[in-house]
Amino acid sequence: MSATSPNDIAISIRNITQRFGEEGAPDSVLALDDVSLDIRKGEFVCLLGPSGCGKSTILNIVGGLFRPTSGTTLVEGRSVEGTPHTDQIAFVFQESTLFPWYTVIENFRIAMKFRGMAASEWDDRAMKALKAVGMASFARHYPDQLSVGMRQRVNMARGICVETPILLMDEPFAALDEQTRMVLGEDLSQLLAATGKTIVFVTHSLAEAVFLSDRIAVMTARPGKIKTIIDVNEAHPRSPDFMLEPRFSELRNQCYALLRDEIRATMAAQRDPAGVEA
Amino acid sequence: MSTASSTLGSSGAATSRRAFHLRMILIVGIVAALEFYGRFVADATLFSPPSKIVQSFFTDIMGDARIVRALWICIVEIAVAYVLSIVFGVTTGLLVGATPFTRRAFFPVVIALYVIPQVSFLPLTILLFGLGPAAKIAFGFSHAIFPIIINVVSGMRTVRELHLNAARSMGASRLDTIRHVVLPHMVPSLFTGLRLGMTLNLLGVILAELYVSNSGVGFFTRLFAEDFNPGPLFALIGSLAIIAIAFNEIVRIAERRLTPGAHRKTIIKTAGKEKQ
């Protein structure tokens, strides 16, 4: 992290603080407290932390869905001021963000229409992305006609089709069973190797974080800060064999040890919210 | 999933065929019982067996140009009241549901008006709109509009945050979001409103017809009732029932055809890779 020039930085998060509600108000919540993080181009960074630690909040700020209370975010050198940089960033949320009233192909078209892309490109790009995830023959299906795993393939492809350099993924696999998660994780690792995209990935899953990341940013309980950054030195695309290596378990255990106290703190806060906020 | 469906019946087609047979047996049974009651038990001045009612439908109802015209007017009243309530109901619903602020301000008023039993206003409606079709249309309209408004508003309210966020992350404008997220999301709820609206519209129009009428269906039902002539009376009431069922069917078919993504029949249960 130290020896990088500014040109290699895709996303630069500087001193972000996020408070929901007026400061001093009884329902005011400090979600993020002075978070800074630089993400290099082509890097896969996982934000790992207990529920409610502000992982998704970071992603939403980077994605321009809202403006932080204080601090700045630069995406490819340009500052994000609460408006999505749709030419550089695509979001992938859980599979249920596919619009159920549109077919698969219509979901792609609408995503590109919203971005103001030329209508002549829509179908070509959509089919290319669908082929990449092996879902080309389901273009005319409605999302409800597909299994959860298939829907998430389509949803990932919808994020890929716009060919932005940066992909923000907010717990995209949270609703999937473990096997499907693993398979899609492999797909994602291949995609990363093939396209050189920068990916920021929010997850609860330790195994997922270690398997996918170049770096894991382990966060504290609320108010969220970055506790430690763990490097995972393993080239993409990663094979499932990586999970069998002793190093994989070591990293996973290391993450767990770091998280355990934070999870206990979160649970204590849930039991007695007043005590922690005070 | 497969175990659940197998306990319900071996196959969907066979089950629905058996259900159809059972339904037919029930209907034939009821008609036969009424026939028996009408022929051998009931007072002929108060009740007619179904066979006589059908006969009377073709002679007394279809054979009398005034009654055919009255039924036709009734159909027009129902249609006009319904179209008006859709136009004004949907527009009002969209305005009330547009923002949380407008919803807070106006929705309680809509709810309050909806729960008032409108029958108490029927005499007033007649006074205001006279004995002709206008009063029936007004009464059908005032019944149908409320469920339409309420369901449009609640359809807009239940838009998922997830979909709004996704649209925003793709750079959708406010107008884009309404056109491609809020409105399509609202469609199933809109149709719930339209179905309820039709039920109440029929109630309103027919209620007003029966209450007072100088040449409409209500006039003739009163005439036949006062003459102790149950055959044409039941035939006329049956005609109204058929009209009501036909209107409801139109709404149901429209719902099936127009709800986006409604034809979802082939659900793929296993996707090779993940279920192994």
Q: What is the pLDDT of residues A86-135, one digit of tens each?
A: 888 999 988 778 999 999 999 999 999 998 888 888 988 899 888 888 88
pLDDT at B11: 65
> What CATH superfamily classification does A6-88+166-173+190-277 receive?
P-loop containing nucleotide triphosphate hydrolases (3.40.50.300)
What is the least distance, in Å, from the CA of A94 to any CA of chain B? 9
Report domain extents, chain A.
6-88+166-173+190-277, 95-163
Q: Is A146 on the interface with B (CB under 8 A)?
A: yes
Which tokens go with B102? 């407008």
Top residue of A101, A176, A186 to mutate, by most chain B CBs within 10 Å, is A101
Contacts of B172 in chain A (CB under 8 A): 114
Average pLDDT over residues B50-79: 92
Of B29-33, B150-154, B159-163, the least confident:
B159-163
How far apart CA A192 and CA B12 sit, in angstroms, is: 45
Q: How far is CA A184 from CA A125, A154, A161, in A?
A: 21, 11, 17
pLDDT at B3: 43
Contacts of A97 in chain B (CB under 8 A): 162-163, 165-166
- What is the edge-to-edge ordering of all strands in the sheet holding A9-20? A29-40, A9-20, A70-75, A78-79
Residue A28 CA to chain centroid, in angstroms?
Answer: 26
| pLDDT band at residue A275 using 50, 70 and 90 as cut-offs | low
Q: Is A111 on the interface with B (CB under 8 A)?
A: yes
Q: Of all helices (H) and strands (E), which one includes residue A201?
A: strand A198-203
Nearest CA in chain A to B181: A99
Contacts of A91 in chain B (CB under 8 A): 165-166, 169-170
pLDDT at B4: 45
Q: Is A144 on the interface with B (CB under 8 A)?
A: yes
CA angle, corner B74, sides to B71 and B77, nearest 5? 155
Q: How many residues does chain B have?
A: 276
Q: How far is CA A49 from CA A35, A203, A232, A252, A272, in A?
A: 14, 8, 17, 13, 20
CB-CB contact of B163 with B185 (8 Å): yes
Average pLDDT over residues B58-72: 91
ipTM of predicted assembly, 2 dp: 0.82
How far apart CA B86 and CA B80 sit, in angstroms, is: 10
Q: Is A149 on the interface with B (CB under 8 A)?
A: yes
Q: Which SS3 state, helix, strand or coil, does residue A35 take?
A: strand
Q: Is B273 on the interface with A (CB under 8 A)?
A: yes
Task: Enumerate residues 6+ apart whose C-beta is below 8 A from A256.
Answer: A206
